[in-house]
């Protein structure tokens, strides 16, 4: 029976082609995920990027309302930037008001569960976006010891990247002094390479989608291991 153990709700940006398949691939037997989408206007103008990302949040109340009818064990907003650009306090307030987990909140929980205090940040973003993500992490007590991005503006191009792009970016990053690597962006394919990267680097590698899927499962009371995401998948929920 579909959804016999738990149903999860996903609020997905309209231009995101990666979050649903990656999170779906993480789910154990009897757990299903259902999505509602919020409009993300595609842009290639760096000056417009942050505004178009934040504009998605105007659709959150509607999308969460639609998903609530399913009786989900947990709901996640699968966009990293839209949840860190306004800062940690705003992100916590959004989660509390709507009864959901944003990807940025899931990342904080994942890093906390792993005991991580210093990260190497790897993204497909513009450097200005990376700087704001590092500021968000600092508010949550996580130091960014290095930051690298591909400088891609639009969201659709990120979803077209092969998984090797994420692996290559992680292996090229400066990880000296980092407890873990955080690969940010729910529209960047990472799932297939996480355990192999952890083995090569000797430290946890957490992605936006691995953190979101893990946090939603734990919030829904599902404690099954998730081997596909490496070390994080063996852990229970963080306090």
Q: Output the tens digit of pLDDT for each of the chain's 239 residues.
A: 566 789 999 999 999 999 999 999 999 999 999 999 999 999 899 888 889 888 988 999 999 999 999 999 999 999 999 999 999 999 999 999 999 999 999 999 999 999 999 999 999 999 999 999 999 999 999 999 999 999 999 999 999 999 999 999 999 999 999 999 999 999 999 999 999 999 999 999 999 999 999 999 999 999 999 999 999 999 987 65
Q: Give the DSSP H or E segment for 56.
A: none
- The reply to whether the predicted model has a pTM over 0.85 is yes
Q: Give the number of other Cβ atoms within 10 Å of residue 176's Cβ.
A: 8
Query: In a 3-state reduction of DSSP, which class is residue 92?
Result: helix
Q: In 3D, which of 44, 97, 36 has the Cα closest to residue 68?
A: 36
CB 135 within 8 A of CB 152: no
Return d(Cα 123, Cα 178) in angstroms, integer.
16
Q: Give the DSSP H or E segment for 24.
A: helix 19-26
Q: Which residues have a Cβ under 8 Å from the Cβ of 38 and sit 6 or more positions away?
A: 11, 12, 13, 14, 56, 57, 58, 59, 60, 62, 63
What is the pairing mode between strands 180-183 and 118-123? parallel
Q: In 3D, which of 203, 216, 175, 200 has the Cα closest to residue 19?
A: 216
DSSP state of 28: P
* Alpha-carbon Rg for the chain in angstroms: 16
Return d(Cα 152, Cα 171) in angstroms, integer.
19
Choices 3.40.50.12500, 3.40.250.10, 3.30.70.1560, 3.10.180.10: CATH for 6-234: 3.40.50.12500
């Amino acid at each position: 029976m579909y959804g016999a153990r738990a149903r999860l709700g996903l609020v997905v940006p309209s231009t995101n082609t990666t979050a649903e398949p990656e999170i779906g691939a993480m789910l154990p037997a009897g757990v299903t995920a259902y999505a509602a989408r919020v409009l993300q206007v595609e842009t290639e103008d760096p000056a417009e990027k942050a505004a178009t990302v934040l504009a998605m949040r105007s659709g959150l109340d509607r999308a969460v309302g639609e998903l609530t009818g399913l009786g989900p064990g947990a709901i996640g907003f699968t966009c990293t930037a839209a949840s860190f650009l306004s800062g940690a306090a705003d992100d916590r307030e959004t989660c509390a008001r709507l009864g959901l987990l944003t990807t940025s909140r899931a990342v904080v929980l994942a890093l906390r569960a792993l005991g991580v205090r210093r990260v190497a940040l790897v993204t497909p973003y513009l450097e200005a976006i990376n700087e704001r993500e590092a500021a968000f992490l600092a508010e949550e007590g996580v130091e960014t010891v290095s930051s690298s991005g591909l400088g891609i503006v639009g969201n659709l191009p990120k979803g077209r990247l092969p998984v090797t792009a994420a692996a290559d970016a992680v292996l090229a990053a400066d990880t000296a002094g980092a407890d873990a690597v955080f690969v940010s962006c729910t529209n960047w394919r990472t799932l297939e390479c996480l355990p192999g990267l952890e083995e090569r680097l000797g430290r946890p590698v957490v992605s936006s989608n691995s953190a979101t899927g893990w946090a939603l499962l734990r919030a829904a009371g599902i404690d099954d291991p998730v081997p596909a995401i490496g070390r994080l998948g063996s852990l229970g929920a963080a306090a």
